[in-house]
């Protein structure tokens, strides 16, 4: 469409999905109209360039109830990344998940989950809004609640993530920014229970680029799970730290 800014297409797609969910989530939970935040997710991630086109990925999540005293989930993910181009990163690795029940932890812990994953991250670095498309395949091995034998599950995840600087033409050190994201998770293969659609995660956050490598974010995530599992919406507060250093030696500078 002539004169139509290119970045507005993914923006309109994301907002069309995200805003109705956030609007529904903002409906008064009681007469005071408070939003019932049920969980707090604490996240740390790093994507480090190490040598040439290769890098290392790691992230960790601690998910707790609103009171912060009841543990919901711990997760650690590691991987090796290949930078095919500035706009394309391939990553493959392993993640370990400890999932707790709704009862007070650690008395009622579910069996841990082991995952292998393969991921492609595509970045649109042109324009005011940075657009990231993340495609991830997961091979999960876990024991379902109430069962004794482990099953193998497959899941596909797609996330659309937009980053908009709130000051200046781009996100750089000292820049606040707005982050909008929506992720859909789909089951496939054998042992699928409850249908193909697994869940949807819509989020909005305010961020601050502290240094070239470090960013801080605080925001809200609306997690929706359809009937067939623990159905319904969940309102989650998120706090995250991202540290993405470039550890490659500078050309012409020898190591000590």
60-68: long-range contacts at Cβ-Cβ below 8 A with a sequence spacing of 24 or more? 63/39, 64/39, 64/40, 65/38, 65/39, 65/40, 66/37, 66/38, 66/39, 66/40, 68/40
Query: Per the domain annotation, does 248 fall within a domain?
Result: no
Residue 1, pLDDT score: 41
54: domain CATH number is 2.40.160.40
Overall domain count for the chain: 1
CA angle (215 as vertex; 235, 183 as ends), nearest 5: 40
Q: pLDDT tens digits, residue range 199-211?
A: 999 999 999 999 9
- Percent of all residues in the chain with a pLDDT value above 90, rounded to a whole number: 60
Query: Per the domain annotation, does 208 fall within a domain?
Result: yes
Query: Per the domain annotation, does 6 fall within a domain?
Result: no
**CA distance readout (Å), 212 to 51, 215, 216, 224, 228:** 19, 8, 12, 34, 44
Query: Per the domain annotation, does 9 fall within a domain?
Result: no
- pLDDT over 50 at 253, yes or no: no
Query: Per the domain annotation, does 92 fall within a domain?
Result: yes
Range 4-27 average pLDDT:
52
Helix (H), strand (E), coil (C) string for 166-199: CCCCCCCCCEEEEEEEEEEEEEECCCCCCCCEEE
**CA distance readout (Å), 77 to 25, 159, 172, 241:** 29, 17, 27, 15
Q: pLDDT tens digits, residue range 94-109?
A: 999 988 765 554 555 6
Q: pLDDT tens digits, residue range 228-243?
A: 555 688 899 999 999 9
Tokens 């997690």 belong to 223
Q: pLDDT tens digits, residue range 36-77?
A: 788 999 999 999 999 999 999 999 999 988 777 787 889 999
Beta strands in 100-174 (DSSP E): 113-124, 130-142, 151-165
Residue numbers of the domain that contains 218: 17-26+35-243
Helix (H) / strand (E) containing 43: strand 39-51
Residue 78, pLDDT score: 98
Query: Per the domain annotation, does 3 fall within a domain?
Result: no
Query: Per the domain annotation, does 154 fall within a domain?
Result: yes
Band of pLDDT at residue 147, cut at 50, 70 and 90 = confident
Query: Per the domain annotation, does 249 fall within a domain?
Result: no
Residue 30, pLDDT score: 42
Neighbours of 240 (CB within 10 A): 19
* Whole-number Å distance between alpha carbons of 92 and 77: 10
Range 78-99 average pLDDT:
95
């Amino acid at each position: 469409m002539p004169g139509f800014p290119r970045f507005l297409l993914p923006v309109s797609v994301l907002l069309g999905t995200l805003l109705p969910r956030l609007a529904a989530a903002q409906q008064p939970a009681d007469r005071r109209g408070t939003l019932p935040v049920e969980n707090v997710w604490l996240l740390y991630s790093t994507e480090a360039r190490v040598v040439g086109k290769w890098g290392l990925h790691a992230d960790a999540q601690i998910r707790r109830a609103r009171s912060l005293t009841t543990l919901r989930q711990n997760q650690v993910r590691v991987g090796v990344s290949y930078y095919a181009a500035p706009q394309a990163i391939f990553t493959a690795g392993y993640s370990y998940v400890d999932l707790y029940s709704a009862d007070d932890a650690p008395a009622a812990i579910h069996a841990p989950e082991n995952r292998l994953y393969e991921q492609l991250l595509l970045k649109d670095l042109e324009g005011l809004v940075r657009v990231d498309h993340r495609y991830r395949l997961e091979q999960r091995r876990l024991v379902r609640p109430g069962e004794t034998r482990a099953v193998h599950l497959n899941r596909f995840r797609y996330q659309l993530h937009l980053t908009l600087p709130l000051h200046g033409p781009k996100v750089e050190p000292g820049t606040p920014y707005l982050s909008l994201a929506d992720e859909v998770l789909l089951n496939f293969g054998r042992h699928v229970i409850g249908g193909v659609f697994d869940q949807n995660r819509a989020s909005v956050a305010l961020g601050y680029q502290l240094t070239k490598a470090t960013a801080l974010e605080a925001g809200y995530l609306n997690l929706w799970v359809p009937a067939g599992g623990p159905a319904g919406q969940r309102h989650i507060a998120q706090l995250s730290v991202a540290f993405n250093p470039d550890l490659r030696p500078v050309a012409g500078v020898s190591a000590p």
